[in-house]
């Protein structure tokens, strides 16, 4: 089941915003396992959580 989130790259990390977690952004390291198609913009990635940062 896909999980939809907002991702931006900051240096070597991705900052991920989960829409159902209000005020929380998780900084993760992501390894691209398999592209599901460059034209779709959907990627399957493996995640390792580094830390979570609260944002006002």
Q: Is residue 3 in a domain?
A: no
Q: Is residue 46 in a domain?
A: yes
Q: Is residue 2 in a domain?
A: no
- Which residues span the domain enclosing 25? 12-55
Q: Is residue 33 in a domain?
A: yes
In angstroms, the CA 34 to CA 23 distance is: 30
Query: Would you call 55 helix, strand, or coil by DSSP?
Result: coil
Q: Is residue 51 in a domain?
A: yes
pTM: 0.27
Q: How far apart, in Å, do the first and last CA atoms of the chain sit? A: 29
Q: Is residue 5 in a domain?
A: no
What is the tally of structural domains in the chain? 1
Question: pLDDT digit string (tens) for 2-42?
Answer: 556 666 666 666 666 655 555 555 555 555 544 444 444 44
Q: Is residue 49 in a domain?
A: yes
Q: Is residue 7 in a domain?
A: no
Dihedral Cα 29, 11, 17, 39, nearest 10 deg: -90
């Amino acid at each position: 089941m896909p999980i939809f989130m907002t991702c931006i790259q900051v240096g070597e990390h991705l900052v991920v915003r989960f829409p159902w977690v209000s005020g929380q952004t998780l900084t993760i390291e992501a390894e691209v396992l398999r592209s599901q198609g460059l034209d779709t913009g959907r990627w399957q990635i493996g995640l390792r959580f580094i830390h979570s940062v609260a944002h006002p």
